[in-house]
Amino acid sequence: MTTISDPILNAALAAREHAHAPYSNFCVGAAIEDDAGRLHTGCNIENATYGLTLCAERVAVFKAVSEGAHGFRRIAIAADTDTLTPPCGACRQILWEFCGDIQVILVNPRGKTETLKLKDLFPRAFDGSFL
């Protein structure tokens, strides 16, 4: 079970404060925990060309991988919505590539949380096993 005092939730909420989202005003934070228990954070980073925008989840994963982290246990995703915000389709594909059937914890600033499994969000994934 995840409680609101869990550091991964606070890390995702804190990362959200760094979001660069002047176009959508939709700020997202993410924190991913590696096998060593280390947390890696990310926020969404938008661009005037829109299409170059990066989601918080991908920033967190790519930062972690670029620093040599591997083997991930869970990711927390923070956004200010009452219906908790799930990862977009592109992020589900990236999470599957690096994390497999990871635990996905959604959280909002009022402490509402929901824990899901990536496989339930992203069934019958395409991955390297087909190549």
- C-beta neighbour count of 120 within 10 angstroms: 9
3-state SS track over the chain: CCCCCCHHHHHHHHHHCCCECCCCCCCEEEEEEECCCCEEEEECECCCCCCCCECHHHHHHHHHHHCCCCCEEEEEEEECCCCCCCCCHHHHHHHHHHHCCCEEEEECCCCCEEEEEHHHHCCCCCCHHHC
Q: Which of 8, 11, 28, 69 binds ligand THU (CB under 6 A)?
A: 28
Q: In this chain, which stretch among 2-10, 20-28, 98-106, 111-119 interacts with ligand THU, using CB under 6 A?
A: 20-28
67 is catalytic: no
The position carrying tokens 């990362």 is 15
Question: What part of residues 69-98 is at the interface with ligand THU (CB under 6 A)?
Answer: 85, 87-88, 91
Tell me if 15 contacts ligand THU by CB under 6 A: no
Active-site pick, 46, 57, 97, 114: 57
**Residue 46 found at the interface with ligand THU (CB under 6 A):** yes
- The amino acid at residue 48 is A
- # binding residues, ligand THU (CB under 6 A): 14
| Interaction of residue 99 with ligand THU, rule CB under 6 A | no
Minimum distance from residue 88 beta carbon to ligand THU (Å): 5
Active site residue ranges: 57
Residues that bind ligand THU (CB under 6 A): 21, 24, 26, 28, 44, 46, 53, 55-57, 85, 87-88, 91
